[in-house]
Chains A and B, each alone.
Chain A
Amino acid sequence: MNFKLKDIGPQLMTVIAVVLVFGFFTYNAQVNMENRGIDFGYGFLSQESSFDVQFSLIEYDGSHSYFRAYLVGLLNTILVSVIGIFLATILGVLVGIARLSPNYLINKFAAFYVEFFRNIPLLLQIFFWYFAALRALPLPQDAEAMFGISFLTIKGLFVPAFIWENFNIFFYSIVAAIVAIIVIRTHAKKVQETQGKQIPVLLISIGLIFILPLLSFLIGGVRLSFEVPVLKQLATTSFIYEGGVSLPPELIALALSLSLYTATFIAECVRAGIQGVGKGQKEAAASIGLTQNQVLKLVVMPQALRIIIPPTTNQYLNLTKNSSLAAAIAYPDLVLVFAGTALMQTGKAIEIVSITMFTYLSLSISISLFMNWYNNKIAITEK
């Protein structure tokens, strides 16, 4: 063993400094909690919460536990993130492609969109949509029906609910379709590699994904009906829609602003990815006789996706973290329900803030671990 002071010294110093700082904090926390008569512990999670949440995906009221309140907040965060990611991806990819269009007007229009939305703070955009734009919507009794069945009002969006019979059969049919598509794709790849024949996988896939669920309706006994929201009078001037699914305005404002904001970043990722594929690649592919679509499908997209996916996942993560701004417009997400209301009621600052941070932390670390795995998998192995 040959320890040198030069190697050990700085490390030891750093560790001692870190330990000292943490020790100082822990000691103070203990003293402070003793003085205020608070005890440390996570036992409060099973206590009755006795507060209500406006909007929740699972059954919840004041008689449920704090842990269930945590779950309600977490599910609401996940809901708005999933909606936001879905919309942002569609919009981002469209705008990213439009940024590369040879058409001058489309190109400039997309550039204007990107420069406009990404240079305004997200919080300001959320406030704008929630307090200014959505407040201009009509009252429930004045709202006109969109497509006759859904209503966009100041109190939220009311859409019909689906009522399924034998939903599990429908679900199984979709799973069967996906499995069949995967099998066919693998087979087609093998056939192409061994015999050089191409099987129209896309057509077959589209056919399967429509025909199998359709069969489940025709012979599987699946029934689908809609429950259209109906206007109901609460008081002389107060109306609300009943039945169907109602999306609160907070959710709409949040999902809208998150997706409009994040789409600008995704658009830039997509543009960089497609531009990152060398011109020579396209020319080489064209010169060996591939058609325009084949060049796109077999040469450009696989390489572009390799550049696009990592930063885009990062943006998804940002969107999820940004969804915590929900607290500003009282959408009951994790931060508002748990780090807001529950913290006020229990006063357990350290426990609750640490749980909230740990939730976000585990979310982002799991995504970055997945990204590392994915990056290693698709990385071009150089000789």
Chain B
Amino acid sequence: MSKINFLKPDKSNLYTFLYLGSFLFFVSVLDVLLNSFFSLNLTGFLPGFLSFLLPLILGFIGLYFIRIELSGIKQLDLLNKHINTNNFNAVLSLLIIFIILKSIPPILSWFVIDASFAGDSKDVCTGTGACWTYIKVWMRRFMYGMYPNGEQWRINLSFIALALLGSVGYFATDRFKKYLTLYYVVIYPFIAFLFIFFFISGGPVFFDFSYGIIAAILSIIIGFFIPSKFKFYYFLIVPFALYVLLKYFIFYEELIELGKLDGLNWVETGAWGGLSLTFIISFFCLIFCFPIGMAFALGRRSGFPLIRYISIGFIEFWRGVPLITVLFMSAVMFPMFLPADFFIDKLVRCIIAISLFEAAYVAEVIRGGLQALPRGQYEAAKSLGMGYWRMHIFVILPQALKLVIPGIANTFLALVKDTPLIFVVGLLEIVGMLNLAKTNPEWLGFAMEGYVFAAIIFWIICYAMSKYSYNLEQKYKTDR
């Protein structure tokens, strides 16, 4: 046995150092553990300051002793490599271990041990822990807002149906795979709109939007017979003309009452709310902002200077202002810009505002993808004789969009996180409902539980989305 130098642990006295070091380390961890879980203070006999720092000092000396390079013990080497590379790292590791040990008991007791779950009134919440009864009682309000209790099956049914229809892509056989894009871009949003409008809101069949749909479908069908030379001008003029014709000359107000679905009460959008409204708004904004953003991304790279400047102006304007002022604008300024007898629903105005706002961000992301494509792709497509639209739809966009999946996912994530801001126009989704419930005189003092509940829900949604986008990115990663 060689001489032991305690300032310089080395391999020759490996086991002496190992036993001594691990002993000191475990004593320090044990001290903190007992202190936090059982409120025992082993070092209480020491003066306050020293008693406070003793675990750190002991742990530090312990880690110093076991920091022996190439000890030949696999676990020890791993430990040294990961948490114990030098003095500084050792102190930080100890601090983190202590913080975790210290914070587990209070968090656990607040969440579970001292929390109250049972009952349905405030009286059961007497403990020091969380009052989950509050969440339980208000659950329907947090999920559905002011939507009448008896009618909530309509929301549930619509969401389940839409989720099922949305998952069609996973079960599609190869034969139908080529129609999936069409399905998701055109048909699915349309079905979703019908569900929301007729089923959740209980609206009439004939209204402005359905005139628009009919006009669009009619003009597309007629469009097949128009020579391609005039197609551009045809699609600029005819759909609008058809819409005006349908709205003002063919259908009359009396038909509106006829079109209502039997047995479904009209629920005005002001009563919608809670988490379901978060979903509805995110869903529609997500659908609308993507094509608008794509159009402006193409416009910004267009060869026509006027179109380019208009696109730049649009994008920079929306990117430069905060969403809250955009919503303010939609609430107080936008009605001034419309004819006096023309009324647009609050929720629709809100969706338009958020869609335009997010479209500017989507446009910038897509532009990044367009710029990243090598020039050769454009030139190759042109040399095959493809025109502008053909080149973009079949060659450029499929590659560019693949490149920007993470960016678009981030924008959508920001969109979901921005939905609570609609409180500005008086719509109450889950965070707004929490603020309402908080001021209820029967249930004062449970703000913390409400916010923690909403935070958990949002965290799960956003984290799942970011992981999903990461998976997509890996799946579509092409070697270039």
Contact = CB atoms under 8 A, between A and B. Distances in A.
B325 A7 contact: no
A186 B105 CA distance: 56
A32 B340 contact: yes
B102 to A, nearest CB: 14
Given A132-B447, A350-B333, A361-B321, A103 B83 contact: yes
Contacts of A133: 448
Contact of A124 (B97, B233, B431): B431
B435 interface: yes
B322 A360 contact: yes
A103 B89 contact: yes
B462 A106 contact: no
Contacts of A286: none
A84 to B, nearest CB: 14
A121 B340 contact: no
B328 A321 contact: no
A231 interface: no
Name the residue in B336, B417, B447, B458 with the highest tally of chain A Cβ atoms < 10 Å from its Cβ. Answer: B336
B423 A328 contact: yes
B460 to A, nearest CB: 9
Contacts of B305: 11
Contacts of A335: 322, 324-325, 328
A123 interface: yes
Contact of A339 (B236, B325, B434): B325
B417 A121 contact: yes
A357 interface: yes
Nearest to B82: A104
Interface in B315-351: 316-317, 319-325, 328-329, 332-333, 335-340
Nearest to A334: B325
Given A123-B420, A356-B325, A115 B463 contact: yes
A116 interface: yes
Given A325-B421, A327-B424, A120 B316 contact: no
Interface string A85-129: 000000000000000011111100100000110011111110110
Interface stretch (A13-21, A172-180, A246-254, A295-303): A13-21
B307 A121 contact: no
B466 interface: yes
B459 interface: yes
Nearest to B319: A364
A109 B438 CA distance: 33
Interface string A344-383: 0000011001101100110111001000000000000000
Contact of A35 (B97, B340, B416): B340
B337 A121 contact: no
B198 to A, nearest CB: 30
Interface in B435-480: 435, 438, 447-448, 451-452, 454-455, 458-459, 462-463, 466
B93 interface: yes
B97 A105 contact: yes
Interface in B46-98: 81-83, 85, 89, 92-93, 96-97
Contact of A18 (B310, B338, B418, B419): B310
Interface residues of B, number: 60
* Chain A CB within 10 A, most for which of B320, B454, B459, B466: B320
A210 interface: no
Contacts of A25: 337
B306 to A, nearest CB: 4
B321 A120 contact: no
A24 B342 CA distance: 13
A244 to B, nearest CB: 29
B304 interface: yes
Contacts of B424: 327
B320 A127 contact: no
Contact of B306 (A11, A24, A125, A357): A11
Contact of B447 (A15, A109, A131, A368): A131
A83 B321 CA distance: 20
Contacts of A125: 455
B337 A357 contact: no
B321 A132 contact: no
Interface string B199-234: 000000000000000000000000000000000110
A353 B89 contact: no
A15 B338 CA distance: 21
A361 B320 CA distance: 5
A28 interface: yes
A324 interface: yes
B451 A124 contact: yes
B431 A127 contact: yes
A360 B333 contact: no
A118 to B, nearest CB: 8
Contacts of B423: 123, 328
A324 B325 contact: yes
A335 B325 CA distance: 7
B96 A106 contact: yes
A29 B97 contact: no
A280 interface: no
A362 B153 CA distance: 48
A30 to B, nearest CB: 10
A156 to B, nearest CB: 18
A204 interface: no
Given A103-B93, A105-B93, A121-B418, A33 B306 contact: no
B447 A135 contact: yes
Interface of A: 7, 9-11, 13-15, 18, 24-25, 28-29, 31-33, 35, 101-106, 109, 115-116, 119-125, 127-128, 131-133, 135, 321-322, 324-325, 327-328, 335, 339, 343, 349-350, 353-354, 356-357, 360-361, 363-365, 368
Given A24-B337, A339-B328, 7 more contacts: A32-B336, A32-B340, A102-B82, A105-B83, A119-B463, A321-B322, A350-B333
6 contacts: A10-B232, A13-B236, A14-B304, A103-B82, A132-B451, A353-B328
